[in-house]
Chain A
Amino acid sequence: MSKSLHKRLRFFTVVVVLVTLVLTGRLFWLQIYKYDYYVAKAENNRLRELPIMAARGEIMDRNGVLLATNRPGFAVSLLDWDKSKGDEIIGLLSRLLEIPETEIRKQIERQQFKTFAPIRIATDVSAEVVARITERRPELPGVIIEAQPVREYPLETVAAHVLGYMGAISSQEYQEWGRDKGYRITDNIGKYGLEAAWEEYLRGQDGVEVVETNFYGQRVRELGKINPVAGHNLVTTLDTRLQRIAEEALAGVISELREGGNEEAGKGAVVAMDPGTGQILAMVSLPAYNPNSFYDDYSLLISDSNHPLINKAISGMYPVGSTFKMAVATAGLEEGIISRNTILYCSGRKVYFAGEAPRGCHLGIVHGAVNVTRALQVSCNSYFFELGKRTGIDLIEQYARNYTLGKKTGLQDLAGEAEGTLLCRREGEPWYPGNVLTASIGQGHAITPLQLANYAAIIANQGTHYRPYLVQKVVSPTGKVVLETEPEVLNRLDYAEATWQAVREGMEMVAMPGGTGSVLRNLPVKVAAKTGSAEAGTKEPHSLFVGYAPADNPEIALAVIVEHGGLGYQGAVPVAHRILAEYYGDESREE
């Protein structure tokens, strides 16, 4: 091997020795010279990550009225606490927080695997309790107060079922998906309503503060901080003014019915939609709950036989009585079975049909010669028995489903929309020809108030089935629009103009003298409506209203049900009357 090669090899040897020397020198510096410094650092090395809770997105109505927001609150947690003094600390905390010791121990047990993160003991603690704890700090080593935004619903029970409520993430939810999505076991999540369905958007991103703490758990300095990012805000389609009017109208009528001796009244629902877009303007379900005090009232709510936790507007299913008749009329007209001028005679005689008990018009009234518009106006059962017989159940079913009766409307912004059922021919089930009579006057079906409102909307806009929706915009905390919902056409019913005209005229006549909803004639707007009284076994019938206003240029499609509210004009019509009177009567209304 040449001499120069040997020289070059020696160069490598020198480099390797030098590298070893440099590394050794640095190790000497760190491990010998700076030993005391690093030992102290290691002793004090109690870096702690303190979560900074993000504010949840706000929920507001179409005009920016806040429906759900946050207020500052405090949580009490343990961090680096002295377990040898555990009994004393837990005892004192129990007295100050007024929580039983066993409850505190349960919380510690549940979160025991958290070594570097605080163990949450109590949430939403009052300022007074915070002051008491601060006073006795020396006796409570390791007890920390964390800032924690608390969910608040400023309008209390207003739109409670739409907004939903919050609750602690359950162990099961945490195991199944919470952990993967970065939730902590102490986090609250949306459990129902928009809070649950829009959790992903509403939830903010918690920040974290890394602090170095000393042996006593006191903060020595902050090493770094990631600020929390608030969740996205939801702009809903709700109109708080209309929502309140509807809630008060329904509650008012129910209490009047009860005062009048109808002990069975107590529940009901209202849905108001914009027939031109599918936007839900108001959605009421009574009785309601207060999402602010949900868990305090929980035992009462859960035992209430009126099921206040269920959103009856989307999950309640009812026979809808005569409000169903527009579907039958549409089928008859559109299929050419009748025309607008076809006269059928209501003789007052009871109708017999195979498999069906004899039936006639309500109270045995004789309507005489009626056409379709008149039949709708006076809700002539005899007419619809005959029309139903001629049309047949299969066509009735088809037209009803086109109106989203017994069919999901497509609402995606809330979970829990019921599909409902229609009384119709089903495979494997007995069918009696007489059942068509029952079906024609709206009995035997199970239909939701949302479906009824959507049905009214489709008639109001002459055939367009818009997807009903509640959230029109998702806006980031910086004001950026993250998501915007455009009206979505799910189906278009291409019926003859004459069909629409007849059905709509019949509905308008309901609100005229001689109609079943004639009290609606004195409203500031012209209303198209249909009333219904649905048999409910041996109890008072359900009282229903379906309609839209103004009749010539519909802005609101409305469905009202007062459970066991009596006949249509006793319960639902007064509710609708009050809603429309107040909504259109109030001069402060903005156009």
Chain B
Amino acid sequence: MFNRKLLRNFDWLLLFTVFAIVAISLITLASTTKSITQNPFYYTKQQAIRFAVGFAFMLAVLSIDYTYFYRLAPYIYAFSVLLLVIVLFFGDDTHGAQRWIDLKFIEIQPSEFAKLGIIISLARQLTAQEGSFDSIFSCIPAFLHVALPMILIFKQPDLGTSMVFLVIVFGMLFMAGANIKHLLTYITLGLAVGGPLLWFNLKPYQKMRLIIFTNPYLDPLNYGLQIIQSLIAVGSGGLYGKGLFAPGTQNALGFLIEKRTDFIFSAFAEETGFIGAVVLLLLFMILILRIIRLASLAKDTFGMLVCIGVAVMMTFHVLVNVGMAIGIMPVTGLPLPLMSYGGSSLLMNMMAIGVVLNIGMRRQKLMF
């Protein structure tokens, strides 16, 4: 049962930043799609509905004591992998990669939900392993844990998302108490062996994205064009920006590609300038720092590790997505959490926030 006393430990600031970021997302969507004549606010409305659904999911996640998730962890893991297998064999590949399952009324992207699922199940596994990280081999079970979902996602193909798992597993191992030297050894080894191995398993377009990252003008027609146009949009925004809903912006003229999804940050930075962009970055920073704070307050290792997993995931998404928009990261198609247009990503992030708030709320054993 939901206890009013739980609200004393509720992190209102965290929830506020979530609302603030989603509000910015909806305004940006409205502004960038204003020129669609038939139904100008179609995307805004769609995303608002998804946010409402996401909020309901968040409340649902909040109402259950998070220790249930500990018990459910193996099933969550199995279910996540099952969905990834299904999408690989039966998924809808109309968007170029096999990432979506078409449920007729809605298309879901299992790799998004898998991120949260794997964070929870990995947290349980590392909790069970707590205090026994003396050997360098003690990290291997955790690697094996994420290897299966990672490979399934890599096969879709979705390089960006499979990278998220790698960052998550290192971050969580680190907080579970793994030896730093061991982790550095694995990273070095991974770069030396995994790097070349990965390169030869990449699709030509994925390689192209990585190559043109070093020089976008090598491919000015496709991916290079995206980067060039994004830099022009962001740079020409200046200090104050061209104004929300302003006519004649790069995004309004159609120069900016994927302005609703992958490059929504560029559109926002163009319209609100340096000031707006930094405000948004600060909101993300506050959000993630609050999650780290809840990690430090959690009553058990499981809660702490879940919070860290979510924090690492969000940090990586922000770094890669914003970095891509401003030309310091390759184009990977990772969405900007709570900002990019898309249902699965928003739902998963709202549920992740729900889990984190849940852990923060139930950090003390309640006395009656």
Contact = CB atoms under 8 A, between A and B. Distances in A.
Are A and B associated in one complex?
yes
A41 B285 CA distance: 31
Nearest to B275: A31
A13 interface: yes
Interface residue range, chain B? 35 or more
A5 B307 CA distance: 14
B70 interface: no
Contacts of B288: 16
B296 interface: yes
A31 B239 CA distance: 6
Contacts of B323: 23, 26
Interface in B190-245: 217, 219-221, 225, 229, 231-239
Contacts of A31: 234-235, 237-239, 269, 273-274, 277
Interface in A1-31: 1, 4-6, 8-9, 11-13, 15-17, 19-20, 22-24, 26-28, 30-31
Interface stretch (A32-40, A101-109, A534-542): A32-40
Interface stretch (B43-51, B73-81, B142-150, B314-322): B314-322
Interface in B172-196: 174-175, 177
Contact of B295 (A9, A37, A47): A9
A8 B220 contact: no
Interface string B154-188: 00000000000000000100110100000000000
B221 A224 contact: yes
B328 A26 contact: yes
B293 to A, nearest CB: 9
A37 B235 contact: yes
Given A31-B234, A38-B231, A38-B236, A13 B289 contact: yes
Main secondary structure of the interface of B (DSSP, over half): helix
B326 interface: yes
A127 interface: no
A99 interface: no
A41 B235 contact: yes
B277 A19 contact: no
Contacts of A38: 231-232, 234-236
A469 B273 CA distance: 67
A485 interface: no
Contacts of B326: 23, 26-27, 30
A65 to B, nearest CB: 40
Interface in B33-61: none
Nearest to B323: A23
A214 to B, nearest CB: 15
Contacts of B296: 1, 5-6, 9
A301 to B, nearest CB: 43
B278 interface: yes
Given A5-B175, A9-B175, A16-B285, A23 B322 contact: yes
B284 interface: yes
Contacts of B237: 31
Nearest to B175: A8
B27 interface: no
A223 B239 CA distance: 29
A12 B311 contact: yes
A337 interface: no
Nearest to B253: A45
A39 B236 CA distance: 4
Contacts of B235: 30-31, 34-35, 37-39, 41-42
A9 B292 contact: yes
B254 A30 contact: no
A5 to B, nearest CB: 7
B11 to A, nearest CB: 16
B175 A19 contact: no
Contact of A210 (B221, B273, B292): B221
A8 to B, nearest CB: 6
Contacts of A5: 175, 177, 296, 304
Given A12-B311, A23-B322, A27-B274, A35 B238 contact: yes
A2 to B, nearest CB: 9
Interface string A105-122: 000000000011000000
A32 B328 CA distance: 17
Contacts of A116: 254
A226 interface: yes
Interface in B303-350: 304, 308, 311-312, 315, 318-319, 322-323, 326-328
Interface in B266-282: 269, 273-274, 277-278, 281-282
A116 B236 CA distance: 21
B281 A23 contact: yes
B32 interface: no
B250 interface: yes
A582 B357 CA distance: 97
A402 B205 CA distance: 56
B10 interface: no
Nearest to A40: B236
Contacts of A224: 219-221
A31 B240 CA distance: 9
A42 B328 contact: no
Contacts of A23: 281, 318-319, 322-323, 326
6 contacts: A5-B304, A12-B175, A16-B285, A19-B319, A26-B328, A27-B274
List of 5 A-B pairs having minimum Cβ-Cβ separation, nearest first: A38-B235, A42-B236, A223-B220, A31-B274, A224-B220
Given A5-B304, A9-B292, 12 more contacts: A6-B296, A12-B312, A19-B318, A27-B274, A31-B237, A39-B235, A39-B236, A39-B238, A208-B221, A210-B225, A224-B221, A226-B221
Interface of A: 1, 4-6, 8-9, 11-13, 15-17, 19-20, 22-24, 26-28, 30-32, 34-35, 37-39, 41-42, 45, 47, 115-116, 208, 210, 223-224, 226
